[in-house]
Chains A and B, each alone.
Chain A
Amino acid sequence: MTQALDTARKHLLQPAGLTDGDLDRVLAVLCAPGLDGGDLYFQAAHQESWVLEDGIVKEGGYSIERGVGVRALSGDKTGFAYSDDITLPALMEAAGAARAIGRAQQDGRVAVRREVTPRDLYPPLDPLGTLDEQARIRLLQSLDAEARRQDPRVSQVIVSLAGTHEVVMVLQTDGTLAADVRPLVRLNVHVIAEDGQGRREQGSAGGGGRSGYDFFLEQDRGLGYAREAVRQALVNLEAVDAPAGTMTVVLGPGWPGVLLHEAVGHGLEGDFNRKGTSAFSGRLGERVAAPGVTVVDDGTLEGRRGSLNVDDEGTPTNHTVLIEDGVLRGYMQDRLNARLTGMPLTGNGRRESYAHLPMPRMTNTYMLAGPHDPGEIIASVDQGLYAVNFGGGQVDITSGKFVFSASEAYLIEGGRVTRPVKGATLIGNGPDVLTRVSMVGNDLALDTGVGTCGKEGQSVPVGVGQPTLRVDGLTVGGTHQS
């Protein structure tokens, strides 16, 4: 038995005295004639958060969540019930409710167990045990001091720290049995700077991953976030109105990869493509990006925020090529959509919690590096925008229209980066934006571990990344008309 499975049994089954025989009884309800099976998803998580503001540790919180989700499948129909009570009666009741989808009456036979050997991408630790409370508070205070030390114009600093320890176990009626222990930490610094003449601007930086809190002490990462947040706020104090109109845009490396997440990522999720509701539906093998553009979704990167040893259906995660040299190669799948479309599983079945149904979701989505030096890319642009930091984005997967909002951007004039401009939303059309990528940098970077993706009301942690990119023709939603 794997260590994760051992931990999962201890956290999830033993407190209620649940045995393998009990679980087989529940699974038998989902193996009924008329059903295509189903799964049980056990989850126990505890989480803490701390907030420092005005130089004092103002808030702290701790939460415990545990429960089990029971899903029954019949063709493309799904029945679902869940309970925060992990006991046999609650499980049997949930299974009985879920299987109503297939109008099944009798119980069926359960397949033989097949333990999934998960990847080993992060240590199965509890972040809450990695630094004692005093050390966590010193960490928050050191970031506050570092931010204020940078510049007297810094008027407000908010530092927030969160850590989660999550244990999950999945049982499928086909016998698949998998478990995962998932640590996750996140640290963020938000600052407001004032120029003394009534103008205020903000800056924000942070990071994290699947590790303990010591991650933030290594290489002074935490202090780096504080310095970066201040730098952004001060740049914004100098920013002039952003331009309005369609122009050449150079996107910086790393977090601007949110472009890929919105422009193509969501549109390549298996559910939308099975249903034919995505602008990318039925386009496998077609050119959707310029030659030289390769985009992957990779849940197997060590310690990354978007990484998973197994997905929430017990499938080991993968390195999935979505777009190869500009040609659409694959979609991201969960079990339901892979089965219904006869496509391979990619380990992208994810859910926010036991109380939510799994769906195809991204893990870490990024573009591979190209040949160009970033300096050469900027020098190639006569008039345009250089956008290096972004807030969130959104996409309409049917029309393909997507937006993402710059929080730090500069004008490019005569091949040089000149004045900073205010934040603005950029809008484009997913199926054609990557065909307008004319230069790909050699500086691939992944984001620092800050992304959260929302879909149908469910949030999951994700990663993005890209090298510096030149896009010929994106609409910049500023207020200044040239």
Chain B
Amino acid sequence: MSQAQSPELDPRALEAVVAQVLEEARRAGATAAEAAASRDSGLSVNVRLGEVETLEYHRDQGVAVTVYMGQCKGAASTSDLRPESLREAARAACRIARFTTEDPCAGLADARLMARDWPDLDLDHPWGVSADEAIERARICEAAARERDDRIVNSEGASLDSFRGASVYGNTHGFLGGYITTRHGLSCSVLASEGAGGMQRDHWYTVARHAGDLEDAAEVGVRAADRALRRLGGRRLSTRRCPVVYAPDVARSVIGHFLGAIRGGALYRKASFLLDHLGRPVFPEFVHIHEQPHLPRALGSAPFDHEGVATRARDLVTDGQLSGYLLDSYSARRLGMETTGNAGGVHNVTIDAGEQDLEGLLREMGTGLLVTELIGHGVNTVTGDYSRGAAGFWVEGGEIRHPVEEITVAGNLRDMFMNLQAVGRDVDRRGNIRTGSLLIDGLTVAGE
């Protein structure tokens, strides 16, 4: 099979694309403009039951331009980077700006906030893995899962992906910057079955900027198998109120709901249950949540945000008090504040870990529910009402007693945050939000 395609990614070429589309926007009458261009290539393979199932070559590119005609805004995007298409996109954006209404808060981020002399964040580590090597590694991963136990009866396969992409942002302040990132991942999903008790499925994955930082392929398979096996014999619970430990990979979503509530867009629309909470306690005093945009090799690192604003390390929650919002320049102007460099999202949000591992947290909980999977979308950011489908384990005397399924966990996020009892040191670093297990008191579990 052919070598993985990795055409040269030249940020200079993308810089030229951005410069051209900005120039076209100016020509079409824009008083200010900003643009982002990207180009990615990658390979993904899936191996199922020992055989290759899919082999996919990815190659994507695009440019998005936003123009301002005074205080009126318009946007356009295209996957075609030829000069005539760039002109067309710039003109389309300007045409739209003629129909939008003047908005005093619209515009580029302030020029003085643009990033300068940013550090190399060590985000580009091409792997150059061939299709054959990728297939072999996925095969090892899946085989380890299937050989783990006779009760592993079926598989959705193991997948290996490797991507490399360049992105460039520029605006009419004269800012023009770009960088290259890589992302490699391996995942495995298998089914376990025992007797007439039905099937259970679970998965595990590893992801990193550098292939050398990935977990061992066989280990990923073994973890996927163990996760599926431990769910066998799941029962329901009767409806009750009890404490809950969220395992790190699902705890991430709880922190995600907090971030959703302090986003500028939710705040200026008064669509957040944490409205007007700046400087007020939102978590217990021991909690420290902060953003670390410049962590080398981390998945959420970025030298500047989607408006060219320099990112910087900052606190979101200090001693339990809300100490920072997540703002872009528009929401900041709406709130009479300054952007926090969060146009496009957050960068490596971390909740400081405590002393205990998961076992320690379960002992502290004593009797309650360990949640290892959440499904559904039952979260209302306006009110904080929270109700999600869950699966996990019933815990008594600090020890896991049996798997549980077909239950919901519910509460109000504001109360849940205040009722956070402990953060584990079992931190999951596979994403943009880094947290250990979370022990939260007083949720309602609905079941039989």
A residues contacting B by CB (< 8 A) are: 48, 53, 56-67, 76-84, 94, 96-98, 100-101, 103, 133-134, 136-137, 155-156, 158, 192, 194, 200-202, 242, 244-246, 275-277, 279, 355, 357, 391-396, 398-405, 422-425, 427-429, 475-481
Contacts and interface: CB of A to CB of B under 8 A. Distances in A.
Contact of B59 (A83, A275, A391, A405): A83
7 contacts: A79-B54, A82-B57, A134-B99, A244-B446, A357-B56, A403-B375, A479-B444
Given A156-B271, A479-B410, A76 B51 contact: yes
Interface residues of B, number: 80
Given A101-B55, A245-B448, A399-B391, 5 more contacts: A100-B131, A192-B269, A194-B270, A277-B201, A399-B234
Main secondary structure of the interface of A (DSSP, over half): strand
A429 B448 CA distance: 13
B79 A67 contact: yes
Nearest to B443: A479
A57 to B, nearest CB: 5
Interface string B71-109: 001111111100001001100110111111111001000
A356 to B, nearest CB: 9
Given A62-B92, A64-B79, A476-B446, A244 B270 contact: no
Given A66-B80, A100-B131, A399-B199, A80 B408 contact: no
Contacts of A275: 48, 154, 156
Nearest to A133: B99
B259 interface: no
Interface string B46-71: 00100111111111110000000000
A246 B382 contact: no
B156 A155 contact: no
Contact of B271 (A57, A58, A202, A475): A202
B378 A100 contact: no
Contact of A97 (B57, B60, B79, B407): B57
Interface in B390-438: 391, 405-412
B31 interface: no
A427 B382 contact: no
Contact of A477 (B106, B271, B389): B389
Contacts of B61: 84
Given A56-B101, A62-B93, A192 B199 contact: no
A339 B143 CA distance: 27
A78 B44 CA distance: 12
Contacts of A479: 387, 410-412, 444
Contacts of A244: 239, 408, 410, 444-446
Nearest to B59: A83
B57 A80 contact: yes
Nearest to A65: B79
Contacts of B92: 62
Contact of A398 (B106, B201, B271, B376): B201
B75 A62 contact: yes
A58 B380 contact: no
Contact of A277 (B56, B89, B154, B409): B154
A46 B76 CA distance: 10
A156 B266 CA distance: 12
Contact of A403 (B1, B98, B156, B376): B376
Contacts of B411: 479
B126 interface: no
B96 A64 contact: no
B171 interface: no
B64 to A, nearest CB: 8
A61 B76 contact: yes
